[in-house]
Each structure stands twice: as C-alpha cells, then as structure tokens.
Structure 1
Amino acid sequence: MSATQPFASSGAINIVGALLEQRTGQQIAANRAWRIETALKTVLRAHGLDSVDALIARLTSAAPGPLADAVVDALLNNETSFFRDPGVLELVVEAAAAMVAEQPGRRLRIWSVGCSTGQEPYSLAMLFEEAYVARGLPFPEIVATDVSAATVDRARSGRFSQFEIQRGLPIRRMMTWFDQEGTEWVVRPELARRIQFRRHNLVQDSAPPGKFDLILCRNVLFYFPPAMRARAYQTLRSAVRDGGALLLGAGETVIGQTDAFVPCARIRGLYRADTARCVPPVSAFG
C-alpha cells in the first residue's frame, strides 16, 4: 500500500458502518470513521488482508459468515469494568430490596442488557450475594445478554486477565469470588451459576421470556439512531412488568425519546414502566 493510498475508501467505510447498524442497531458517526479503520486492523491481519476495501471485496464475494461476525464484533464498543459506577449498582440493590419488601418472598428478575464480557452482571451477583443470601432473601434471577456471541462466550467463561480483574474490583471481593489460574482469574462456580448468559439482539429479537422487575441498559442506546432506539424501547417495555424499572447510563434519558417509560421521582436514575408511585429507596439491610 503506497503512502498516498488511503487505508479505506469512503465507500468501504460506509458499507462496514451499514453492516454494523443492520446487525446491532449501533451507528458510527461520520466524524468517527477513523474508529472503523483502527478496530478492523486485527481482523485484517487475521485474514491476510491489507485494507478495508479488500475486506469488503471478501465480504461481498460470499454469503455472510464468520468474517462478517468478526467485523461486527471488532466494531462493538465492549468497554466495561467491575463495579462501574458503584453507587448506581447499589441503587439497583436498594430498589430490589424495596420491591421485595412490597411482596415478601417473591423472587425478582433482572436483565443486564449489553453485558459485554460480564463485569456488570458479575458485580450485581456479588452485591446480591453479600446483601441477600446471609439474610435469607430470595436471590434474584439475573439474565445477561449481548449482541456478540463471542463476547457472551467470554462472559460465560468467567475468565479475566490481570488488567481486567484490577479494574474496579476490590481485593477482598477478588479473593472471595475468584480463583487464580496462571495469568487469569476465574469466577468461582457458586457465583457463576447465579447468571444466565444469552446472545440477544435488542433491535432484532423479541425480549427474553417472562417479565423483568429491573432492566439495566447502560450506555447501549446511546449509539443507536432514533428509529432503532425507538424500536429498542418497545422491546424493553415489553420485557418489564408494570411497576418495574429501567436503568440507563449516566448520560442517557427517556425524556424526549419515548413515552414507554417515565422518570421515577422517588429513585433518581430509574425510569418506571408506568406512572404509578415509585417505591422509596429504603435500606433493608441497616
């Protein structure tokens, strides 16, 4: 490739961006096209290709398959860490406790959308183990999903590098819930069994079976164009029970986006599936 030859033509970048949006609903802004080139370098090396244009030629010469999956996986933003925004996760536990107080003995259902490599649902499971089990409260059913099959497989394996395990995870919890195997840290079976990992596409698939009391969908819809975001909200609304709640990322809101959810006046950061009075954020554990 000569010094004057672009790494990717605008046409190739547009095709790759369209593939990502079609498969996942996520959209890459025109001024972030550089991210496509950067993200795909590993895919190009793995398949012996020297440019994104060559990649497009390979993609369009055969039926979609593992190569298309690899392209989409490379472009997804899988940035995550353990106990990301810990106060927010503690809010989820408090909201769950308040729901249990309304109907003692009922087992709640929680859906972690866009779970990436699993740090969010594992963090939730640790919090619920610490807060619920010792007090005899029913442990919630936690379902965690992501659009990438490869990412879901990684999350289900419960294996994390030294770098990943140190991001947000206190040493006490690391020693309690993980075992070291060589250079990796592996989630202990008693924690891993608390989570059901599944592949799920928020804009193409129906919601997982059953109704959920709490849905965490943090920093997922941010990347969706308006039409895809509206479709995703419909899926989320179909999945949450009346009186249940949705948690979005810190920079996200339902205001002006959908009428399927309304802000919860009693618990900041949560959005209710109807206009009923929100349960107060009580501390059930002293």
Structure 2
Amino acid sequence: MEFSEASYQIIAELLAARTGQQLTDNRKWRLTSALSGVFREHGISNIDQLVCLLDASSDPSQPGNLANEVVEALLNNETYFFRDKPTFDQIPQEILPILRERRARLRRLSIWCAGCSTGQEAHSLAMLFDEQKDLWAGWSIEILGTDISKKAIRTAKNGLYSQFEVQRGLGVTEMLCHFDEAPDGWQLRDNVKRFSRFEQHNLLTPPPRRGKFDLILCRNVLLYFDAETRSLIFNRLASALAGDGYLMLGAGETASARTSAFTPSGKRASIFELGGAAKANQHEVALAPL
C-alpha cells in the first residue's frame, strides 16, 4: 500500500513526540502491516486517510483516541522467555551470585526490566528465583517491569500467553512447571507472578521510583532511539542504578561508545557498571545535606 511522504513524516513525528522512538526508513516497510488492525477497527482504507483523521484526535487522554492507537500499533513488542540465552544466562551464573554476596546483610534485591514489553523477561527472572526458592529464602525480591505500551503492560500483569508465546524460549518441562493450561492459552502460576509487578513508564521521564536498583535490564530497546535520546536514557538509567549494580543491554548492544555514564563490566557480554563520573555524582548526592 503506497502512501505519501508527508503522511509518513506526520506519523513518524507522532511516534517520536509520544515515545522518543524513531520511525527510520528501514522500518517504513512495516508501517502498513503494523497499522492494519487500526484500519479494520475504524474502517480506514489507507495511511493518507488515517493521517487526515488524526487531526481530529487532539486529546491524548481519551481512551479511544486514534493517535494513541496508532502509537500502540507502531511499538515493537518483540520478546520471548529467556531471550538471547547465552547473554541472559550470565544473570544466574555470574551476576546474581555477586549481588547475593553484596546484599547479604540487607537480604533485599531490586531489579528493573525497562522496556519489558509483554513481560516475558521479568517473568523469566521470576522463574529463576522460584526455582532457587531455598537459596533466596528470607529475601525480599522485587522485579519491576515497565513499558510505554499500556496494552503490553496489561498482558504482563495477566501472565496469560498463547501456545506460541510460551514455547518461545521454554522447554516442555519448564512450561509445565510454571504454567497451567487455560481456555485461552497458558496461565503463569501465582508462585512465579508474585515476584513481579508491572507499570506503564516512559524511558524519557525520570525513573519509576526513587530507590536504587541492583540490576537493570534494558535489552533491545535503545536501538529505536537517536543518539541524543539514547544519551538521555543512559543518564536516566545511571541515576536509578546502585553504585555497585549492573546494567544489562541486548546482545550486541553497547553503552561505552554512547555515554560516559557506564563502563563495560570486565569480559561479560552486554553487561555494564557505572562509569567513574556517574559513581562520583551518586556519592555527591548521598553526601548532600538534607
């Protein structure tokens, strides 16, 4: 389906204004397919017609706002359980043992899955803790999943997934251990869901809470932003991370070339620690008089 360059620019600007994400030329090809559901819902035949109707959708607070629906449809909610397993496996094999030792006195661990989409990443972490419940007995474990998509967060909270979704990243044994079959798919069990909570959050805004996180996962999210926006988000993430905490990006993603807020964590793939300036800034804030 063809559409004018002017219509493309209007939709790209809408997405950037609401989320900071860039609708680059290499994503233009999926524009029509991504918006097909919006077309059916509103009886719209093409993108140029959609753009004309967007002018009448001026109040983003309204639930039925057409612009909101367009933005939701354009968000990439690609995710699956234990995504990029070699990278993810560093969490139970290396990161959690270190954090368990460092937090042994407080017995409290806080993890933020930023850009969590429909929740599989946060629930994957919860499965790890549930499988090691004896090791973490007496600990307070908090896994916070956030995403800008209201629809994705609703799915994450429900923990109900299709057969296709649960089979992506999970073996049969894991699936049967953590899920119950339901009429509409597979329902995550409460003993796993109890570790996680979810809320809507925009990465361009301040972190979702004042306290520091021990581990932040922001995987395969930043590639949708331009360099300036990525730098802003890295600074947001740095302000939310404990001084001795860890940031995990997606496989192949890097922070060191984009910001001075983080530095690679040894030879660990896609894992970063706070850079010297960011650590110093946190120390200054901690010492500042109330």
Do they fold alike, i.e. is TM over 0.5? Answer: yes
Corresponding position: 1:144 with 2:139: no
CA distance in 2, matches of 1:37, 1:135: 47
CA contact (8 A) 2:252 2:270 kept: no
Deviations 1:34-80 (A, max 9, x none): 22122111111111111111111111123143311211111111111
Corresponding residue of 1:282: none
By how many angstroms is 1:88 displaced?
Answer: 2.3
Q: Contact 1:128 / 1:139 at 8 angstroms: preserved in 2?
A: no
CA contact (8 A) 1:132 1:138 kept: no
CA distance in 2, matches of 1:87, 1:133: 25
CA distance in 2, matches of 1:103, 1:206: 22
Q: Which amino acid aligns with 2:27?
A: R
Greater CA drift, 53-62 or 256-265 = 53-62
| Among candidates 3, 20, 34, match of residue 8 of structure 1 | 3
Q: Which runs of 5+ in 2 are unaligned?
A: 278-290
**Offset at residue 268 of structure 1 (A):** 3.6
**Which residue of structure 2 aligns with residue 59 of structure 1?**
54
Q: Distance in 2 between matches of 1:219 and 1:31?
A: 16
* Mapping of residues 45-194 of structure 1, within 5 Å: 45-65=40-60, 66-93=65-92, 94-105=94-105, 106-134=107-135, 136=137, 138-194=139-195
Matched, 1:251 2:246: no
SS of match in other structure, 1:151: helix
Encode CA deviations 1:92-140: one digit per residue, 9 max, x unaligned: 2231221221331421110001111111111111012212435536252
What amino acid is the match of 2:153? Answer: V
Gaps of at least 5 residues in structure 1 are: 1-5, 277-286
CA offset at residue 275 of structure 1?
Answer: 4.6
| Equivalenced residues, count | 271
Q: Distance in 2 between matches of 1:103 and 1:223?
A: 34
- 1:274 to partner: Cα distance: 3.4
Q: Which has the higher contact order (CA 8 A, sep 6+)?
A: 1
Could you state the TM-score of these two structures normalised by the residue count of structure 2? 0.88
Question: TM-score scaled to structure 1, two decimals?
Answer: 0.89
Aligned-pair RMSD on alpha carbons?
Answer: 1.8
Identity %: 42
Kindly tell me: are residues 217 and 182 of structure 1, through their superposed partners in 2, closer, same or farther at Cα, counting changes over 3 Å? same
Q: Is the 8 A contact 1:112 1:121 kept in 2?
A: yes
